[in-house]
Amino acid sequence: MHRLPLGPLYYEYSRHNEVRLRIEPGEKVLVEAEDAFSGQVRTNQDRRDRKAMPYGNPQTGPIYVNGAQPGDTLGVQIHEIRPSIGQCATRTSDPKQLAEWIGTDCPHGTHVCPIRDGKIYWSDEITIPYRPMLGCIGTAPDTGVPTTGPAGPHGGNMDIIETGPGSTVYLPVYVPGAYLYLGDAHAAMGHGELSASGLEMPSETIITVDLIRGKTIPGPRIESAEEIMTVATGCPMERATAQAYAWLILWMEEEYGWDRWKAYDLLTHVGRISVGYYAIGTVAAKIAKRYLV
């Protein structure tokens, strides 16, 4: 297994960065990543300092996958996501999207939560099950360099809770070598990531990166033990929802032999939506695998 230690913090999915690791398809890698706060919050007293570090969600990468060519697809199996320092941290801040209903006198709300025995100690009374996921994972586009703020066809800041251990994330390859990046691990996350700060943790993620040659996908796909799902981003979320479902229909047609109109009908009755970071309209449309037969 390769190990990609923490290095420069990248805030873009860029083909211009120097490659940090070259692997063969099918190889396993342990990737160290800083948390979404760029490590600025390690104690309850720490504050997010936007002057010193205006961007969020630093990525580790790029990983160059030998032989990956534009038009191929990466399949990134996530085996494990571990907290690097046994804790995660979160903060609240001015809830501008909710200000109309709950006001704006929000305390900074930085707090650190220990992680032990599969539990996150959010407060003295409340523990949350440890259900880690990657907020960000993506490849580098061939035109345009997305920041780690939004998500897009390249992946990026999707914040889909199903991006966790046991899942495989499929991503389009746009440039030779694919240039894979990941980061922004959360110890757990709610649909929508309401305050925009999850339970952010520096992380060690173990992945296997497969290459599916000659297979082209229009945007990210995720397969978990129970479900397959497609991820779309865009505003309004109504449109992202339509697009994610349309992409799921096309996946069912293309790989599972479904008639698209029957898939369209069935999803009306059994489809599920998993909402990512809501303010940028990222959603996953899902179907249980048991229906795909």
Residues 93-112 that bind a second copy (CB under 8 A): 95-102, 104, 106-107, 109
| Minimum gap (Å) between residue 81 Cβ and a second copy | 16
Contacts of 146 (CB under 8 A, 6+ apart): 12, 13, 138, 152, 154, 156
Stretch near a second copy under the rule CB under 8 A, chosen from 22-30, 177-185, 201-209, 275-283? 275-283
Span 202-261, contacts to a second copy by CB under 8 A: 234-239, 241-243, 245-247, 249-250, 260-261
Name the residue nearer to a second copy (CB basis): 68 or 113.
Answer: 113
Rg of the chain in Å (alpha carbons): 19
Give the Cα separation of 238 and 39 in Å (integer).
35
Name the residue nearer to a second copy (CB basis): 173 or 211.
Answer: 173
Contact flag: residue 6 with a second copy (CB under 8 A): no
Contacts of 124 (CB under 8 A, 6+ apart): none
| Minimum gap (Å) between residue 267 Cβ and a second copy | 5
Instruction: Select the residue interacting with a second copy from 61, 62, 198, 202 (CB under 8 A).
Output: 198
Contact flag: residue 266 with a second copy (CB under 8 A): yes
Residues 279 and 196 sit within 8 Å (Cβ to Cβ): yes
Give the SS3 label for residue 18: coil
Stretch near a second copy under the rule CB under 8 A, chosen from 38-46, 163-171, 203-211, 276-284? 276-284
Q: Applying CB under 8 A, what is the total number of residues that bind a second copy?
A: 78
- b/e per residue 100-132 (b: at least 16 CB within 10 A): eeeeeeeeeebbbbebeeebbbbeeeebbebbb
Contact flag: residue 267 with a second copy (CB under 8 A): yes
Span 42-101, contacts to a second copy by CB under 8 A: 54-55, 90, 92, 95-101
Give the Cα separation of 102 and 276 in Å (integer).
22
Task: Tell which phi-psi region holds residue 230, choosing left (phi > 0), alpha (psi between -120 and 50) or beta.
Answer: beta
Tally Cβ neighbours within 10 Å of residue 273.
15
Span 148-167, contacts to a second copy by CB under 8 A: 149
Contact flag: residue 118 with a second copy (CB under 8 A): no
